[in-house]
Structure 1
Amino acid sequence: MNHHHNHHGEAGFKRKVDYLDRPERSEVLSPEGFLTSIPIEKTASILDLGAGTGFLTIPAAKLVDNTVFALDLDAEMLKLIEEKAKEAELANVQTLEASMEAIPLEASSVDVVLASLVLHEASSLENVLSDVSRVVKTDGYFACVEFDTKGTDLKGPPMEIQISAVKLREELARFGFEVVKNWQLDEGMYVSIVVKK
């Protein structure tokens, strides 16, 4: 199978990785800072949607003894996460090559779902949230970072695919989620931490 078609070869893949792992990203929101804002027990199982380079997967795996699932459509990214996990001697990372809209996990099987700057890439937000709601346990958490640059001079993804905090809250409510914390970050980003009722 040829996985290179979406990266324009190795150079494109490397550019994407460098972009996703750039230090500025941690300055706006460090993965550790993001993770500590969610009540994560040592025994929690975690699912990282659109895990990319493992920006959240790896720090999350250091926090828990249970499995951290890294889900991404890109097999190369998942291979990179596996390498990083091995380097960090983390045996609790499991990669899933799948779509956020069809998560290959059992119902009510994870305690925490993470989504950093990936929800706007989904073809259907509704499908993603519906599936997240399916896999998260009752009283489990869904924590996401998204762009809402409306009314700012900031550049994010195209406006028509951005998901405002208000829109996200409304969509989440339809699937039994309640926002517990919401705050703005620099660069037109915000964090929503929600609990499944």
Structure 2
Amino acid sequence: MSKICPKCGKELPDDARFCMDCGYTIDKQESGGLLNNFPLPTLFIVLIVAILIIGGVFILSSGSGDNNNAPDRTDEVTHAVDLTIAGVGGWDSDSGKKSYTLYTEGIFNSVPGNLKGYNVKTTYYDSNGSEIGHETEKLENVYYDTEFSISFGYYTTYKLPDPDHVKVEIINGGKVIDSYTEQIDTNKIDYLN
């Protein structure tokens, strides 16, 4: 028998203590939190790698030149959200009518101090640029303080989607203040392999 991740739905081995897909701690009650899931040397290495990755992203995003993921900063709104899209995953369900779910993983490098009024709209597109579907969520329901990527933008359909790219928009006051687009690596989507 296998465990199912309560956050992303990924099937896991019985002895799994965290989800290998989204990083969610499975044994929160028993383990006392994420730090107890790793031996100290492993945790130290993970923290150093995370700091190096975040530092590299910061250096790349602050450098000169065009950046396809850089948000349009031509309006007067303060851009308080900095997001790195880590990838898109997906799974299918055989229970009842066959369904297909897509979700986005992202690292929120910075967020505003007050999350109220901010929404995250995640839209999935096919290779023709046609919308497959989208999900809009409150940022305060998506974001939590972590060094790992956060899964959000869960979209389920009964028609087999063929995703090509994802667009994540940060909305405040009904206005898009940040936008990030990323090509989808279909190798990370279970039902396409």
Tell me the TM-score normalized by structure 1.
Answer: 0.28
TM-score by length of 2: 0.28
Structure with larger Rg: 2
Compare relative contact order (CA 8 Å, sep 6+) and give the higher one, 1 or 2.
2
More strand by share: 2
- Structure with higher helix content: 1
